[in-house]
Amino acid sequence: MATAPHRILNDGGSLPALGLGTAPMDDAQTERAVTEALRTGYRLVDTGASYGNEGGVGRAVAASDVPRDEVAVMTKLRGRDHGYEETLAAFEESRRRLRLEYVDFYLIHWPLPRLDRYIESWKAMIRLRDDGLVRSIGVSNFTADQLTRLERETGVLPAVNQIEMHPGFPQDKLRALHAERDIATVCYSPLGRGNGLVNDRGVIGVARTHSVTPAQVILRWHVQLGTVPVPRSGNPQRRRDNLDVFGFALTEEEISLVGDGCHQRIGHDPEVHEEF
């Protein structure tokens, strides 16, 4: 059974080096996927209030033989719940659906700069962490300027920033800031979400060299860059393959070859996206 190593965070906590994404699976699909994934060796599960599947995650974690303190559950605050009191209330709803006494990682899902209430939400998250209800707090889709503002106005940096990242959009500048501030980079859409990366000739060639799949090559690329990918798949064999990326290593040349993409975002732009 494969397991991912852990990385230490800027708040003293730790994070598995690879996790399971659950969007856009519904509750029932999520429960089945997480149940099987925990048996396989996954120890990080990524969900969010806006995904509508926190209940499925909670049921799977509760029924698992894996000790609770070995499973890291990451969920997120949706846009309509920004604000101090709103965040506290939304967290309790997420915690109820997840059936957890505490949540390992609680993130602001989108900054919503036009609403401009993410500082209030961040202060509420600091309280949740200080009260022991959340182990680590973080954000998702935050830009360099927004991260800097969080620290300037509250004195607290996120432990993680979950962002779109893949070989076609490697986020070099933002990752450099993360490294400078010791913020863990968690990556959604790590395989490119249908943009053809797994069919790239260069990636296929590297996969043949190591006798692995193209997806495994891309996930290993993430791991060697020090980021934490959270691939999602409804296929049990692919989930097992996705976790099995710690038994081989890419050369510097191969890392450069895999990362030689078009450098285009395929998801929403956090400067303008509104998620409620």
Share of the chain above pLDDT 70, in %: 98
Q: Give the Cα separation of 221 and 219 in Å (integer).
A: 5
Q: pLDDT tens across 185-241, in order?
A: 999 999 997 767 899 899 999 999 999 999 999 999 999 999 999 999 889 999 999
Residues forming beta bridges with residue 8, ordered by sequence position: 14
For residue 25, what are the domain limits? 6-190
Flag whether 150 is in a domain: yes
Q: What is the set of active-site residues?
A: 51
Flag whether 112 is in a domain: yes
Flag whether 1 is in a domain: no
**What single DSSP character describes residue 49?**
G
Flag whether 214 is in a domain: no
Q: pLDDT tens across 14-28, in order?
A: 999 999 999 999 999
Flag whether 100 is in a domain: yes
Flag whether 202 is in a domain: no
Cis peptide bond N-terminal to 24, omega within 30: yes
Flag whether 176 is in a domain: yes
Residue 160 token pair = 């993680």
Confidence of residue 275 (pLDDT cuts 50, 70, 90): confident
CATH number of the domain residue 15 falls in: 3.20.20.100
Flag whether 195 is in a domain: no
How many domains, the chain? 1
CA distances from 40 to 29, 37, 103, 260 (A): 16, 5, 22, 32
